[in-house]
């Protein structure tokens, strides 16, 4: 475990486990293995609070999301709970039956500030795949699968996944996945650039994600925030020049006048490792 712990207390959680496997790294584990790590409505609210806290916490720079066990990353919405609500067996206020603004699991529609890596340990279906599509990078176990089975159930993947899938792989592949509901393998996902890397084994998927997270945690936290913002802006707007303009307008002065930009240049000149300060952006 890392010695650098958060400065502020995390939200209390009952659906996810929080741990700190390396300096500046938050690991969020969906802890509902018996329910295939499907997420009930209260779980979405909780996860939204966790990732809002992550963005504010000075001692955290990158997060990893994974699922408990070896079978499922996340099977999507808890359909058992949903069935009980629809059949009136369980009464729930409509106000509590919503995802946070950041989407399914607090990730699928998240803009946020800091990067999240998906460590996909098993199947990522429906909202689970929409979480993956909302992450910045993806490490998959060899046995991982990805799919949008909603249409097979007579419903629609409404947490932002289809639009992001089109952005990443184009209309033909996105249409096949969303309209047939047939999942794809980790290898196929990598061929389609939906996955950065496949771990050597099922057991090493989180370790591989931590290696990737460490590479990000080592750079200036200011640079990570601004670089990510530029990448996401291009993805969202679809205009490479407008994305660049918006990022410069929003961040350029604060980034370049900040202590981390000065430290990075000094460390380079002095041939030493930089000592980064928590981001104030």
Q: Which of the residues 130, 236, 253, 270 is marked catalytic?
A: 130
Task: Tell me: do 231 and 184 sit in the same domain.
Answer: no
Q: Is the pLDDT of residue 1 over 70?
A: no
Question: What letters, b where the CB count within 10 A reaches 16 and e where it falls short, cover 232-261?
Answer: bbbeeeeeeeebeebbeeebeeebeebebb
Assess if residue 261 is contained within a domain: yes
Q: Which neighbouring-strand residues pair with 16?
A: 30
pLDDT band at residue 48 under the 50/70/90 scheme: very high
Task: Tell me: do 178 and 226 sit in the same domain.
Answer: no
Task: Tell me: do 140 and 241 sit in the same domain.
Answer: no
Assess if residue 103 is contained within a domain: yes
Q: Is the pLDDT of residue 230 over 90?
A: yes
Residue 79 confidence (pLDDT): 83
Assess if residue 276 is contained within a domain: no
Instruction: Provide, rounded to the nearest whole percent, the portion of the chain with pLDDT above 90.
Output: 83
60-64, 79-83, 97-101, range with greatest mean pLDDT = 60-64
Task: Tell me: do 119 and 226 sit in the same domain.
Answer: no
Which of 183, 202, 218 finishes a domain? 218
Q: Which neighbouring-strand residues pair with 29?
A: 17, 66
Phi and psi torsions of 76, nearest 5°: 95, -155
Mean pLDDT to the nearest integer, 177-184:
96
Q: In the predicted model, what is the mean pLDDT of the chain?
A: 94
Which of 198, 218, 238 finishes a domain? 218
Task: Tell me: do 227 and 177 sit in the same domain.
Answer: no
Task: Tell me: do 196 and 265 sit in the same domain.
Answer: no
Task: Tell me: do 133 and 35 sit in the same domain.
Answer: yes
For residue 123, the domain's CATH number is 3.90.226.10
Count of structural domains, the chain: 2
Task: Tell me: do 227 and 203 sit in the same domain.
Answer: no
Task: Tell me: do 43 and 82 sit in the same domain.
Answer: yes
Range of the domain at 244: 221-270
Q: Which of the residues 150, 241, 253, 270 is marked catalytic?
A: 150
Q: Is the pLDDT of residue 208 over 60?
A: yes
Task: Tell me: do 214 and 235 sit in the same domain.
Answer: no
Which of 194, 218, 242 finishes a domain? 218
Task: Tell me: do 227 and 210 sit in the same domain.
Answer: no
Assess if residue 275 is contained within a domain: no
Assess if residue 279 is contained within a domain: no
259 is an active site residue:
no
Contacts of 161 (CB under 8 A, 6+ apart): 104, 108, 127, 129, 130, 133, 148
pLDDT band at residue 3 under the 50/70/90 scheme: low
Task: Tell me: do 190 and 243 sit in the same domain.
Answer: no
DSSP per position, 110-172: ---SS-EEEEE-SEEETHHHHHHHHSSEEEE-TT-EEE--GGGGT----SSHHHHHHHHH-HH
Assess if residue 244 is contained within a domain: yes
Q: Is the pLDDT of residue 248 over 60?
A: yes
Encode pLDDT of 146-159 as tens digits: 999 998 888 888 89
pTM for this prediction = 0.94
130 is an active site residue:
yes
Encode pLDDT of 74-98 as tens digits: 999 988 888 888 788 888 888 778 8
């Amino acid at each position: 475990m890392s010695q650098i712990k958060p400065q502020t207390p995390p939200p209390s959680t009952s659906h996810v486990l929080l741990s700190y496997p390396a300096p500046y790294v938050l690991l969020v584990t969906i802890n509902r293995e018996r329910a295939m790590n499907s997420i009930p409505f209260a779980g979405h609210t909780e996860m939204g609070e966790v990732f809002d806290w992550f963005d504010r916490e000075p001692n955290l720079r990158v997060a990893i999301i994974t699922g408990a066990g070896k079978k499922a990353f996340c099977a999507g919405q808890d359909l058992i709970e949903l069935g009980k609500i629809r059949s009136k067996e369980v009464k729930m206020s409509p106000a509590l039956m919503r995802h946070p603004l950041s989407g399914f699991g607090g990730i699928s529609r998240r803009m946020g500030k800091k990067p999240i890596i998906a460590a996909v340990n098993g199947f990522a279906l429906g909202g689970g795949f929409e979480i993956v599509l909302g992450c910045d990078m993806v490490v998959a176990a060899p046995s991982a699968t990805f799919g949008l089975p909603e249409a097979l159930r007579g419903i629609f993947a409404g947490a932002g996944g289809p639009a992001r899938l089109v952005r990443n792989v184009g209309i033909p592949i996105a249409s096949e996945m969303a309209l047939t509901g047939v999942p794809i393998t980790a290898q196929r996902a990598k061929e389609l650039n939906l996955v950065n890397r496949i771990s050597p084994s099922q057991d090493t998927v989180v370790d591989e994600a931590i290696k990737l997270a460490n590479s990000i945690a080592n750079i200036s936290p200011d640079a990570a925030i601004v670089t990510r913002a530029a990448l996401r802006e291009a993805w969202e707007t679809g205009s490479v020049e407008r994305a660049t303009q918006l990022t410069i307008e929003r961040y350029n002065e604060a980034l370049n006048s900040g202590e981390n930009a000065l430290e990075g240049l000094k460390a380079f000149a002095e041939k030493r490792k930089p000592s980064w300060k928590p981001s104030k952006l």
